Amino acid sequence: MKLFQQLLVAPAALGLLAPMAVGAAELNLADVNQYAGSSQDQVTSVTQFSDVKPTDWAYQALSNLVERYGCVAGYPNGTFKGGQAMTRYEAAALLNACLDRVTEVTDELKKLMAEFEKELAVLRGRVDGLEAKVGELEANQFSTTTKLKGIATFVLGANSFGGSNRDISDFAAAQEGATSFNYDVRLNFDTSFTGKDLLRTTLRAGNFADSAFGNGGLNQLEVAFQESCGTGVDCGDVVAVNRLFYQFPIGSNFTATIGGRVRQDDMLAMWPSVYPADTVLDIFTYAGAPGAYNLNLGAGAGLWWKSGNFSISANYVAANGDGGTPSSEPCVSGSLNSCGGIGTEASQETGTVQVAYGGSNWGLAATYNYSNGVGVASGTPLSIAPQAAAPDGSTFGFGSINSVGISGYWQPSNSGWFPSISTGWGLNSYDIDDDAFNFDGPTSQSWYVGLQWADAFIKGNTFGMAVGQPTFITGCGDVCSDNGVSRTPHDGNYAWEWWYKFQVTDNISVTPAIYYLSNPLGNVGYRANEISGDSGAALTNFGGIVKTTFKF
């Protein structure tokens, strides 16, 4: 019982002692002294009472009075007699003993307060100062509902090109062989109105469009954190809205998302990889399946259900969902820039369903994605942009693609010799008939393995590497032949990257990295070699960057 509670009980107990059937003149003080003298010394443990058991309803209360306050005495025979009615004399003796203990505690507190008077005054002053600062912050805060998080990245890097076809390697060096210094900056405004919802607004700018890592013929060189501000448009030193969506719970298990600029992975309950998505090569940012996880960005909506470790996600995104021309024919001639809309013939759309399980240190996901007018996100030139025949005989878009992906990860509970492991595989089937490449329903595949060691060599630093094959054509479908002779696509390409992140401060990191692509042109380079009579890979690429990241 707390001290103030004891003081509240005391008047009530005194009330019990007030004269009722007998007057004050009838109180025999000799009887009180006789009771106090007949009782044994104060006990120190409730176990000293032979008739008190742990199962008694008041056992805990009695234990507190005995062991914490020491103000309960028993009878000379070692009993407490808890079931016996209490006389007024016994109540007076018990109350007297407890009040004595209360007085002792109060005196001890007064001594402690006097001894630490200076320290208490300092603490009181600090609390007053903190209250003043908090009041000032509240008066000048940006918003009561919005938090700002920013990230700025500098990239200094260059490429070198080799291979058996000198014309192609010289051309690649002329296009993307310069040393370039670029930046990317993102400002995330996260707003919550209920504490459970999220309105995200992201402003982004960068200047990678014309860099050594831009959107040239080798899109595999795009750095992992680069992202266009719109369909086929780089930010180009212009601040633009990169994300704008609202996410909110429905009941206890469902979460809905809707937005004018939302990306496919924003609407997934789990991302099936722990390999960093902002390291070097773009090809390692899609969980091994750039077709299933093509990260389509535009107008969209999604819903996920999550119960325990299991989740099911479904979403739809139209990259040109803001367009108003539904027919694809005007888009072919290029006369209009308003082609698109939601669910139209001209929509650059994706529909995704993911089933996932995420444990404490591992996760696994299976995903299906249907794309119409949207190619796979990364791969050889032949795999990312196969052309579909238009009604007038010209070509446009990417046709439709059915993609599946299986991805997962495992990470150790503690940092050490064992790295985290992320891996994935993807399969894509194209609904395309392309006579230029002898296509009729081709297929493509991709895979990767990413490793990351936390606290590598120095606590806080990280080492990582990844290897895999970007999306490459594995079959030509029904017309995979040349004059009746079966042909192999020869589109395979291996990619590696190695990096080490120095965590300079909590908010600044520096990451040097190198990478290698064994055959980035795939089948296109192979066909060029056939014409020129060369052998081997027509083009190889080795490069490196130094990335500096600031978080604020």
pLDDT at res. 245: 98
Residue 159 structure tokens: 């490429």
> Per residue in 199-215, pLDDT tens?
999 999 888 877 888 65
Work out the pLDDT band at 31, boundaries 50, 70, 90: very low
pLDDT bin (cut points 50, 70, 90) of residue 438 is: low
Query: What values do phi and psi take at 174, rounded to 5?
Result: -70, -30
**143-148, Cβ contacts within 8 angstroms, sequence gap of 24 or more:** 143/191, 145/191, 145/192, 145/193, 146/189, 146/190, 146/191, 147/189, 147/190, 147/191, 148/187, 148/188, 148/189
Q: What is the chain's percent helix, strand, coil content, to nearest 5?
A: 25, 35, 40
Instruction: Quote the mean pLDDT of the chain.
Output: 81
537 within 8 A of 166, measured Cβ to Cβ: no
pLDDT-derived band at 388 (thresholds 50, 70, 90) equals very low
Decide: 520 and 146 in contact? Cβ < 8 Å. Answer: no
**What are the structure tokens assigned to 546, written together?**
């130094």
pLDDT band at 478 (very low <50, low <70, confident <90, very high): low
pLDDT exceeds cutoff 50 at 37: no
CA distance 28 to 70: 27
pLDDT computed for residue 219 by the predictor: 57
Q: Is the per-residue pLDDT at 35 higher than 50?
A: no
Residues 6+ apart with CB under 8 A from 246: 197, 198, 199, 200, 257, 258, 259
Span 473-481, average pLDDT:
69
What's the pLDDT at 227? 61
Cβ neighbours for 49, distance < 8 A, ≥ 6 positions apart = 43, 74, 78, 79, 80
Query: What is the pLDDT, as a whole number, of residue 215?
Result: 55
Position 298 confidence tier, pLDDT thresholds 50, 70, 90: very high
- 518 by Cβ neighbours in 10 Å (0-12 / 13-18 / 19+) ranks as middle
What pLDDT band is residue 485 in, cutting at 50, 70 and 90? very low
Q: At what angle do helices 523-532 and 166-176 cross, to 10 degrees?
A: 130
Q: What is the pLDDT of residues 175-193, one digit of tens each?
A: 888 999 989 999 999 999 9
Q: Taking phi first (over 0 means left), then psi (-120 to 50 degrees means alpha), and beta for anything else, what does residue 477 get? A: left
Rounded Cα–Cα distance for residues 4 and 10 (Å) = 10
H/E stretch holding 29 = helix 29-38
User: Highest-confidence range of 120-134, 412-426, 484-498, by mean pLDDT?
Assistant: 412-426
What does the alpha-carbon distance between residue 320 and residue 232 come to, in Å, rounded to a whole number? 11
pTM comes to: 0.72
Query: What CA–CA distance (Å, rounded) separates 493 from 489?
Result: 12
Residue 341 token pair: 């809309």
Average pLDDT over residues 273-281: 89
CB atoms < 10 A from the CB of 315, how many? 25
Whether residue 496 is predicted with pLDDT greater than 90 in this model: the reply is yes
Percent of the chain past pLDDT 70, that is, above it, reads 79
